[in-house]
Amino acid sequence: MTPSTIDLPVRAQDRRIAALAAAAVGLAVAEAAIPLPVPGIKPGLANIVTLIVLYRYGWSAAAWVTALRIVASALLLGTFLTPTFVMSLAGGISSLLVLAALVRLSPAWLGPVGLSVLAAMAHMAAQLGLVATWLMPGTGLWGILPVFLGAAWLTGLVNGLVVAHLTARQHSTRKESPS
Amino acid sequence: MPGALRLGDILVLGLGLGLIVILWQQRGDTGDSVIIRSNGDIFLAVDVRLNRLVRVPGPLGETVVEIRQGRVRVQSDPSPRQLCVQQGWIAPGASAICLPNRVSVERGHSGYDSIHY
């Protein structure tokens, strides 16, 4: 055996993150095929996966799944390193930061719907901020800001209800308190 | 699904909706404007969305300009032929001139509808 062999042990956690990221990529690619009336508004179904991972495995696993989803779906959709990819990255980072701040709150006080709506609006605000400062500086975005934030509010609500439904079913089958 | 919404969730939803509504109402502040001139000088330049009644003094008396719900007109004027009053609501880009009283009302509009890159 050559001494320079690099051994990369694959832990169970790695396989889990890879599988969950694959689910998120599947949702992201599937929703890219849905025709939508306004560019920039989409359901954001992959965030359902992010939130479930956040509840079950913690923030760092959610961050891994999100990062892998952004890069892998960009490679699949051919938008890697384009402005679309940078927008996606900015939205992902800002929503993860919001989730990092909010996940410390008691789950009895703030549930998945609140987390989902706040993360979606942070996502949208970061993207519009990027458009206003980098992509199209000087254009009046104030007029369309409520439309985009309203879309984020609605998709965040729907995704949050889906997450609440899925995690509630999970907790009723597995009687254990979330750490 | 009962119990899916916690107190914080409802708070977040309410505050988010409130923010959106506030932003929606403030939208379009950079749009149309109204410029009222008296004797050639700008008497008042305001946004057409701010409802108000403006009284402009002139050599014959007072010209009353009404700005309401995004429109503007000369409501009353002491000029003998009432031309600017009969013009009614002023179209965007047009103006009403009450020459005897030396008052003009200009309904301006923003220079661009949209910009494409």
β-strand partners of A56: none
Residue B116 burial (CB count, 10 A): 3
pLDDT of residue A35: 85
Round to whole Å and give the CA distance between A149 and A155: 10
Instruction: Considering only the beta carbons, identify the residue of A114, A121, A145 that sits closest to B9.
Output: A114
pLDDT of residue A106: 79
CB contact under 8 A, B115 and A139: yes
Q: Best residue in A102, A128, A145 to probe B by mutation, most B CBs within 10 Å?
A: A145
Nearest to B6 by CA among B45, B63, B14: B14
pLDDT of residue B50: 83
Nearest residue in A to B23, CA atom: A146
pLDDT of residue A175: 45
What DSSP designation does B65 have? E
Instruction: Considering only the beta carbons, identify the residue of A117, A140, A142 that sits closest to B12.
Output: A117
Distance from CA of B5 to the nearest CA of A (A): 7
Round to whole Å and give the CA distance between B31 and B92: 11
- Mean pLDDT lowest among B65-69, B75-79, B95-99, B111-115: B111-115
Q: Is the pLDDT of residue B30 over 80?
A: no
The domain defined by A15-29+43-172 folds into Arp2/3 complex 21 kDa subunit ARPC3 (1.10.1760)
pLDDT band at A157 (very low <50, low <70, confident <90, very high): very high
Q: Is the pLDDT of residue A176 over 50?
A: no
Q: Is the pLDDT of residue A138 over 70?
A: no
pLDDT band at B93 (very low <50, low <70, confident <90, very high): confident
Q: Looking at residues A125-143, what average pLDDT do you find? A: 82
Q: What does the pLDDT look like over A115-130, one tens digit per residue?
A: 999 999 999 999 999 9
Distance from CA of A90 to the nearest CA of B (A): 21
pLDDT of residue B1: 45
CB contact under 8 A, A142 and B117: no
Say whether B55 sits in a helix, a strand or coil.
strand
pLDDT of residue B107: 86
Q: Looking at residues A24-53, what average pLDDT do you find? A: 88
For residue B82, give every residue at least 6 positions away whose Cβ sits within 8 Å of its Cβ, in sequence order, or none. none
pLDDT band at A179 (very low <50, low <70, confident <90, very high): very low
CB A163 within 8 A of CB A48: yes
Contacts of A157 in chain B (CB under 8 A): 13
CB contact under 8 A, A110 and B6: yes
Round to whole Å and give the CA distance between B51 and B75: 13
Q: What does the pLDDT look like over A17-28, one tens digit per residue?
A: 999 999 999 999
| Domain map (residue ranges) of chain A | 15-29+43-172
Say whether A94 sits in a helix, a strand or coil.
helix
Question: What share of chain B in percent tops pLDDT 90?
Answer: 31
Distance from CA of A142 to the nearest CA of B (A): 6
CB A71 within 8 A of CB A23: no
Question: What share of chain A in percent tops pLDDT 90?
Answer: 59
Q: Looking at residues A35-54, what average pLDDT do you find? A: 87
Round to whole Å and give the CA distance between A17 and A3: 30
Q: Looking at residues A130-149, what average pLDDT do you find? A: 81
Q: What does the pLDDT look like over A54-93, one tens digit per residue?
A: 999 999 999 999 999 999 999 999 999 998 899 999 999 9
Q: Best residue in A51, A117, A155, A169 to probe B by mutation, most B CBs within 10 Å?
A: A117
Contacts of B11 in chain A (CB under 8 A): 114
H or E element that contains A100: helix A83-102
In order of start, what are the domains of chain B with their CATH numbers? Answer: 33-108 (2.60.320.10)
pLDDT of residue B46: 85
Say whether B74 sits in a helix, a strand or coil.
strand
Q: What does the pLDDT look like over B45-88, one tens digit per residue?
A: 888 878 889 999 999 999 999 998 888 999 999 989 998 899 99
Number of continuous H segments (helices) and E segments (strands) in chain A: 6, 0
Contacts of B6 in chain A (CB under 8 A): 107-111, 113-114
Residue A46 burial (CB count, 10 A): 25
Distance from CA of A169 to the nearest CA of B (A): 11
Round to whole Å and give the CA distance between B106 and B73: 10
pLDDT band at A155 (very low <50, low <70, confident <90, very high): very high
Distances from the Cα of A134 to the Cα of A14, A120, A128, A146, B86, angstroms: 35, 21, 10, 20, 49
CB contact under 8 A, A110 and B8: yes
pLDDT band at A174 (very low <50, low <70, confident <90, very high): very low
